[in-house]
Amino acid sequence: MIRSCAVVCLVSSLLACTPSLYSVNLQYEPSAIVIPAADKGQKLIVTVALFNDARPGGEDLQIGRVSTAAGGLYTVLPRNLKPGAAVSAIVKDILVKSGYRVSVAAPAWNLKEDTVKKEWGRILVGGNIEALEITCQSDVPIISYRSRVKLNFAFADVLTGKTFYRVTTESNNTLEHVYFTEALLGQQISSALSEAAEKAFEGGTLKEKIREVLRRTP
CATH number at 20-215: 3.40.50.10610
The pLDDT, as a whole number, for residue 68 is 87
The pLDDT, as a whole number, for residue 17 is 43
The pLDDT, as a whole number, for residue 218 is 59
Residues of the chain with pLDDT under 70: 1-19, 41-43, 58-59, 217-218
The pLDDT, as a whole number, for residue 84 is 96
φ, ψ of residue 217 to 5 degrees: the values are: -60, 130
Length of the chain: 218
The pLDDT, as a whole number, for residue 56 is 87
The pLDDT, as a whole number, for residue 188 is 96
The pLDDT, as a whole number, for residue 20 is 82
Buried b (16+ CB within 10 A) or exposed e, 36-65: eebeeebebbbbbbbbbbbbeeeeeeebbb
* Three-state DSSP state, 176: strand
Query: Strand runs (DSSP E) across the chain, as ranges?
Result: 21-24, 45-48, 52-53, 64-68, 73-78, 101-102, 123-138, 143-157, 162-177
**Could you count the other beta carbons within 10 Å of the beta carbon of residue 28?**
20
